[in-house]
Each structure stands twice: as C-alpha cells, then as structure tokens.
Amino acid sequence: MAAAEAREDSGQYVLHHLTNLKLDLRSMKIDPDATGFWVLNIDSIAFAVILGALFLFFMIRVGRKANTGVPSGFENFIEMVVEFVQGQVKDIYPHANSLVAPLGLTIFAWVLLMNFMDVVPIDWLPYIGEHAFGLHHLRIVPSTDINITFGLSLSVFVLMYIFSFKYKGVIGLGKEFLTHPFFIPSGPLVVLNVLLVPVNVILRLVEDIAKPVSLALRLFGNLFAGELIFVLIAIMAGQAFNGTVSGAALGFAGFLTQLVWAGFHMLVIPLQAFVFMILTIVYLASAAQSHGEDH
C-alpha cells in the first residue's frame, strides 16, 4: 500500500512539473487541463520575454560602454561571443548582409539563456511561484515547450522565403521549385520535364517543411529530456527525507547523480544553442544561393 502511494505521489510530482501555467483565451481563466489552439502557456512566454529583455539590456549596456575605457571581463566575454558569431556568419553566409550576424547572435544568446534555466534547481521557482503568487504550475525552461521552439523555427522558415525572394526573385524561386532536383536540359527526353514538375514541387515542399520541424524538435527534445531527468533525479533525492536507511542512500545517490547530470547538461545547453544558430545561418545561406552556385 505504501509503495503504491509512493508511486502515485511520484507520478503526480512528475506530472505537476511537466504541466504549464495555461491561460484559456476562450474563458480567460487559468486552467491546467486546457487544450487547443486558444491556450497560451503563459509561463513559457513570460520567461522567454524576460530572458530576451535581459539579453537586450546587457547588450545595450555593453555597447554603450564599448568605447569609454578599459573593457571589463564581462565586456571582453561579450566581445568574444560577438566575434565568434561574426566569424561563423562570414564562413557560411555567401553575401554581405547586416542582418544575419545580429540575428545569429540574438538566436544564440536567447536560446542559451532559455536553455540555461534548466540548471536552476527544479523546485525553487515553482515553490516561490506557488507560495508567493498562488501559481500552482510553473515551468521555467521555455525551450522545453514545443510551442516556443516551433515559434523560433517558424520565424526562421519565414526568413528563408524572404531571403529567397530577395536574392532570387519570383522567377528564380519559381524555377527552383519547378526544376530542382530533377531536370533534363536537352535531348529527346526533355518533354519529361513536364512530368517531373509535380515531383520537384513535392520534394521542395518536403525539404522546406522538414527544416523548421527538425530545428524545433531537436531543441525541444534535448531540453525536455534534460528536464525530465532532473525531475526523476529530484524524486530520488527526495527519498532522503523518508526516515529510512535505504531512503538516505537513495537521497545521497540522487545528490551525486544531480551533480553529474548537471555537469553533463552544462555541455548540452550551449551546444544546442550553437546548433540552432548554425543551422539558421546555413538555412539562410541556402535560401540566398541558387542551386547552381558553388557552396
């Protein structure tokens, strides 16, 4: 009986930590069970906006102090990050463009900050939110919300088409849709190009749709898995308070596991931000290049 209650409590603990603070726009009420298009995960949005505002605040502050004296350690760090992103853009992106480098920096820093929330002890902010503000659910890692990652990736998807129209024009983009990857330039079989047009269009649509989908799911999957493991480790560590020797042993093991996983996750956090940034630059570079150009 006690074991069954422990399993139920553990299940409720996991479910509680994986439930967003949801606002149902139809009733304008907080409802953790709400589903559908008209539901906002307001905790994810709030933390994403706050972290984005922090990024802007520090970047503006560093920018204003850039030429006022000897740079501090933090200013040197920001300068290194900016130069690193500019170097990546220079190596990947084929044209001079004043948007791509700031976009890459914004994506990298914003995703990094959202990911970094995953190393904040999982019960701290939800506890404060519940006891200070009456928020019964609170998820603090925006990148574990698939709506946030898809929002970012769909923005990249829109930019891909904007860049395609800018550098190729309507005719050039239409030609790519109709003649790539299969096209017979000459010969008796050239009439088959008409039959190949539907195949080319379908393949192009699949290719373009796969880019934002894979971009969103890669970031979401890695961070959601990390969050879930932290929740499971917290359950193990919580056994230290059940008053038994085995519970104390599990609690100690949970504490050590927490340290090891947090150390490993500190590698995953910047890596996923870097991958998201690099793939964004690669997709924009591909959109700005014709298929006949050398890569």
* Per-residue pLDDT reduced to its tens digit, 144-162: 999 999 999 999 999 999 9
Give yes or no for a contact between 222 and 268, defined as CB atoms under 8 angstroms apart: yes
Quick check: is 242 catalytic? no
- Catalytic residue, candidates 10, 97, 147, 218: 218
This model's pTM is above 0.85:
yes
Distances (CA, A) of 268 to 85, 95, 153, 164, 265: 18, 31, 19, 32, 5
In tens, the pLDDT along 238-275 reads: 776 666 767 677 777 778 888 888 888 899 999 999 99
Quick check: is 64 catalytic? no
Quick check: is 214 catalytic? yes
In tens, the pLDDT along 106-123 reads: 999 999 999 999 988 888
Cα–Cα distance between 105 and 168 in angstroms, integer? 26
Of residues 45 and 240, more confidence is placed in 45
Tell me the helices (H) and strands (E) count for the chain, helix number first: 8, 3
- Catalytic residue, candidates 72, 76, 214, 290: 214
The DSSP symbol for 29 reads E
**What is the average per-residue pLDDT within 231-237?**
83
Burial of 151 (0-12, 13-18, 19+ CB in 10 A): middle
Say yes or no to pLDDT of 8 above 50: no
- Catalytic residue, candidates 41, 115, 143, 222: 222
